[in-house]
Structure 1
Amino acid sequence: MKKSKSILLVWILFLVIQPLVLAQQKYPSPIGPNNEPQQTGKFEATWESLANYEVPEWFRDAKFGIWAHWGPQSQPGQGDWYARHMYDQGSRIYNWHVENYGHPSKAGFKEVIHSWKADNWDPEKLVALYKKAGAQYFFAMANHHDNLDMWDSKYHEWNTVNVGPKTDVIHRWAEAAKNNGLPLGLSVHAAHAWIWYETAQQSDREGDLKGVPYDGILTREDGKGTWWEGLDPQDLYAQNHKPSKDSHDVSSIHSQWDWDNGAQVPTVAYSENFYNRTIDLINKFNPDLLYFDDTALPLYPISDAGLKIAAHYYNNNMKQNNGELNAVLFGKILTDEQKECLVWDVERGAPDAIQDIGWQTCTCIGNWHYNEAVYQQDRYKSAKDVIHMLVDVVSKNGNLLLNVPVKGDGSIDEKEVEIVENIGKWIEINGESIFGTRPWDVFGEGPSAETENPISAQGFNEGKVKMNSNDIRFNQKGDVLYATLMGSPEEDIKIKNLGSMSPFSKGIKKIELLGSSEKVKWKLEKDQLHIEAPKEALNEIAVVYKIFQK
């Protein structure tokens, strides 16, 4: 009898303990119970539960958003990943930093943050410009890999209220979005600071200061008598840990983005801090859209932080909207199963086929962070480049999120203003062919549609295939089909997919040319729809034919 009771007790303990053990095995940095509470509701912190998500129709209608990917790394005007590369001896950014700020053993990235004052920032003016240009939602960056929170962060003392511009940046962006009637998106990138900042705990490999540690090793005690007295650099740099494999190679992080290939696993405390900061952000601002610069979800698969944040975000949004889910959550490099749980974001690129589920591409007219060289060398994307991307993406059931790099002082330069205004001029005339549309039976025809252009990693295939007026993209709204030519046609237009014998043909009642009062002359033939070229060119970007189907 005693033996039976012992066996029963062991079995009960096994049933209780095994899930906990498995959880520890699955998530080396799990989120404990004594953190920001979860909003309960329809969704739980599992992929199976998140699969009940559906992309809201408002987002599918919106098609176009503008992003202010802005933070302290914009202050130097040297482009992307400044806070990582400034600790790489001999690199362009290291050399520039030493010349302008000093050696990173004494003047680390915290000094860049201190120099960032955003003196000319007018969020109301910028968001109003973006709305006038046709943006249907606005995005602001809440934090980057540099780990500075851009709001009055409850769980992170390194935030813009305490340092830098000494203001709640996200609160002011949120007010501007609200005043302009635009849904608010927030982007969160800080999950990878743990390995991204590992260059900050290294030192010069040669020269007079060889072996002198950079400031990533400093602690609160080292700040006595400095401007940052009372702050702990370890809370910013998160470098009180053994470096990842090959951390001396600044490119090694790309193979470790999924927390494998020798990446050091963050501590539970680090994962919990990221979790709490993000929940705080959601609770304070109730964003309509939330973007994670992570494979799948942040800290996945080493932590359940991302899953818990996602469930909280959806449930919180439903609570704010009387049980209706209007939230949009983005992740990168998603499996087919994960694309049921959140919206797939493609960075600087697009798939080469129509997607069954709504998705988004994010891109930039220059670098993600402001770069003076891009301005000086006239290397911005043109309004034509942007519109071609927008039309192509929309034809494949996607949205376009466009970053217009903001300077450190909070302004955008005159070349950027002109690009944004020219985007707006095209959208003012042709916007009906974009907003509220859905994909047609085929996304397009012409040389670019027939060219394979596979995605690499999280995207990065934009610009590899050039388009001209021989390239056509389609989308529809009810019985109206829009055929957009990527340029101004000089010869008659021949659309093969609209010939009377095409399996997609539904017959045509009439055709109009958006922005023109000129009567469109056309003829339906067996193998094509023949449209006479317009007598006058409307614009050099793209012309749109509005085709009324029977």
Structure 2
Amino acid sequence: MKTLRVKALLVLLAAAFSANAAPLPKPDRGGVPESKLYDYGVMGPPATPAIVSAANAGLATALPAGPYQANWNSIRKNYQPPAWFAGAKFGIFLHWGVYAVPAYHNEWYEKHMYDRDLAWHTEHFGLPEKFGYKDFIPQFTAEKFDPDAWAELFRRAGARLVMPTAQHHDNFALWDSAVTPFNAKRMGPHRDLIGDLGAAVRRAGMRFGVSNHGVENFAFVNPTAQVEARLRERHADLFDPAWADFYNVADRSPLAMSRFLSDWLARNFELIDKYQPDLLYFDNGVNLRVLDPLKERVAAYYYNRASGWGKQVSISTKWVAYAPDNDDSHQLGSIIDFEKVGTRSPSGIRPSPWMVDDTIGSTWGYTAGMRISSAASIIGKLVDTVSKGGFYLLNIAPKADGMIPDDQQRVLLGVGAWLQRYGDAIYDTHPWTRFGDGDWRFTVKGEALYAIGKAGGDNTLASLTPAVGNVTKVEVVGGESVAFSQDAAGLHLQLLPTSGAPLPVALKISGLQPR
């Protein structure tokens, strides 16, 4: 009976709309003003409640047994952030996919090659009807990909979590999928990249997450009118029937959108079941309020599965995706994520849990000539994030052949060396009553207050007056004691003249009994 009802609903939806119907209505943007859509990255499909209802009905997979039902009240009642997340503090994100083959502009190559970057693409690869985005897939070989070497690098970098993009906006799945034929096992590398990396990461003692940006694919590629006319006339590339479900350009009818969203559900369920991720991450495309029934269902499915596994897991999303009242401080079943330190991340202490994803270089995916940040810059952003109660997720960009460039590796190892010495001031800490004092940042663990900053000559922490407590001892984490004095002007530290050193020092301050 359920199958008949699903078919009937899809028939009604198809009858109500056609591929040649009037333009779809604008979606509910979840309270984001029109002028801010780009800032918040709301790029999901312009669905309606009817389309979402059909998508939900189009996948008959039942919820696993467990306490969660697919509604906000049940998620609110049952969800607890995983205990491990609070102390982990640092992880590795990876943008790796087909877009690393052209390695031009950024990881949105597929979007731009049919309009803004058309001339560059044509010069280097030919017209899209001769060489489309799909034709990069055989060149995404990953022949030098060594998952154990990657995992060892990330472990030495001090990461506690590793999370690759299992699928980016381009709709290519990096796992062995029974849901979509456009996957890394059947094409390109001909191996299960997600499965291989996940196994290696867990062998190395770290947690493993997966990121799925696929919901943004339906509205991602928008060719110029001229390109569209040529490709449509020739049934080529974007309009090649064999690739229609890869590009999702030729048919953007409501019926096609409902099928796409059913497929999005199925891919998430497959990722959950095959890889038991510790974290399941969605990009901005899921922010739309109209998609709530699908998001509720994913959460209930994932958390019931995790209950059966005996694991503590979480979804992570941006802005108000899992905040149904459109207040981003009221997350239900999700750890909120902010993109880029200093751009949208909190300017002060924010109640945990939260994290910020940041990039090691000038682009998220690998591009030729990308600029790479220094280890000192990355450490500074890590420290600032942790002092405010957050988790720092650093993105790296491997090449199409599976190599992580040497300059990125050097930065990771530099961060790891710093954490090897000063990690006690980072891992398993929480914020103090204030996050910083000038250029110094504070964290707390037990009865110790940590101050992290660049040492050089006399240093005064003006906030640490006798009014907050009497300091009894100051020492470099893992090292020597530091001479100090304390008065109404603050805590005066007599440090070695190391102002020219690029990396901060972490100090352990005793006697204040911080909370």
Q: 2:356 — aligned with what?
A: 361
Q: 2:488 — aligned with what?
A: 526
Q: 1:464 — aligned with what?
A: none
AA at the equivalent of 2:210: L
Aligned pair in 2 of structure 1 residues 291, 302: CA closer, same or farther (>3 Å)? closer
TM-score in terms of structure 2 length: 0.83
Q: Does the 8 A contact of 1:437 with 1:477 survive in 2?
A: yes
**Aligned-pair distance for 1:294?**
2.5
Instruction: Using the aligned pairs only, state the percent identity.
Output: 30
Equivalent position SS for 1:96:
helix
Aligned pair in 2 of structure 1 residues 153, 162: CA closer, same or farther (>3 Å)? same
AA at the equivalent of 1:354: I
Q: 1:67 — aligned with what?
A: 93
Q: 1:29 — aligned with what?
A: 52
Query: Is 1:156 paired with 2:153?
Result: no
AA at the equivalent of 1:481: L
**Aligned-pair distance for 1:187?**
0.3
Q: Deviations over 1:3-23 (max 9, x none)?
A: xxxxxxxxxxxxxxxxxxxxx
Equivalent position SS for 2:164:
strand
Q: 2:377 — aligned with what?
A: 385
Q: 1:514 — aligned with what?
A: 477
> How do 1:25-104 and structure 2 match up within 5 A?
26=49, 28-30=51-53, 31-32=56-57, 34-52=59-77, 53-78=79-104, 79-88=106-115, 91=116, 93-104=117-128
Query: Is 1:329 paired with 2:291?
Result: no
Aligned pair in 2 of structure 1 residues 42, 416: CA closer, same or farther (>3 Å)? same
Q: 1:320 — aligned with what?
A: 309
Alpha-carbon separation, structure 2, partners of 1:303 and 1:104: 36
Unaligned 5+ residue runs, structure 2? 1-46, 321-326
Q: Deviations over 1:298-320 (max 9, x none)?
A: 66424622221111111111110
Aligned pair in 2 of structure 1 residues 25, 540: CA closer, same or farther (>3 Å)? closer
Q: Does the 8 A contact of 1:80 with 1:369 survive in 2?
A: yes
Alpha-carbon separation, structure 1, partners of 2:200 and 2:160: 14
Alpha-carbon separation, structure 2, partners of 1:303 and 1:48: 13
**Aligned-pair distance for 1:536?**
5.1
Alpha-carbon separation, structure 2, partners of 1:265 and 1:427: 51
AA at the equivalent of 2:257: T
Q: Deviations over 1:205-241 (max 9, x none)?
A: 99x999877621110xxxxxxxxxxxx2011011233
Alpha-carbon separation, structure 1, partners of 2:255 and 2:490: 59
Alpha-carbon separation, structure 2, partners of 1:238 and 1:81: 16
Equivalent position SS for 1:149:
coil
Equivalent position SS for 1:172:
helix
Aligned residues between the structures: 452
Equivalent position SS for 1:158:
coil
**Aligned-pair distance for 1:202?**
4.8
Unaligned 5+ residue runs, structure 1? 1-23, 220-231, 244-263, 447-470
Aligned pair in 2 of structure 1 residues 188, 298: CA closer, same or farther (>3 Å)? farther
Q: Deviations over 1:240-285 (max 9, x none)?
A: 3359xxxxxxxxxxxxxxxxxxxx8962211111101110111011
Aligned pair in 2 of structure 1 residues 25, 425: CA closer, same or farther (>3 Å)? closer
Alpha-carbon separation, structure 2, partners of 1:290 and 1:197: 25
AA at the equivalent of 1:409: D
Alpha-carbon separation, structure 2, partners of 1:85 and 1:51: 40
AA at the equivalent of 1:333: W
Query: Is 1:292 paired with 2:273?
Result: no
Name which of 424, 438, 444 aligns with 1:432. 424
Aligned pair in 2 of structure 1 residues 301, 338: CA closer, same or farther (>3 Å)? farther
Q: 1:236 — aligned with what?
A: 246
Query: Is 1:215 paired with 2:237?
Result: yes
**Aligned-pair distance for 1:96?**
3.0
Alpha-carbon separation, structure 2, partners of 1:393 and 1:212: 52
Equivalent position SS for 1:360:
strand
AA at the equivalent of 1:372: A
Q: 1:308 — aligned with what?
A: 297
Q: 1:106 — aligned with what?
A: 130
Alpha-carbon separation, structure 2, partners of 1:108 and 1:310: 36
Aligned pair in 2 of structure 1 residues 35, 300: CA closer, same or farther (>3 Å)? farther
Structure with greater Cα Rg: 1
Q: 2:41 — aligned with what?
A: none
Aligned pair in 2 of structure 1 residues 422, 337: CA closer, same or farther (>3 Å)? closer
Q: Deviations over 1:114-173 (max 9, x none)?
A: 221112111110111110110011111110110011111111111111111111111111
Q: Does the 8 A contact of 1:65 with 1:400 survive in 2?
A: yes
Q: Does the 8 A contact of 1:271 with 1:303 survive in 2?
A: no
TM-score in terms of structure 1 length: 0.78
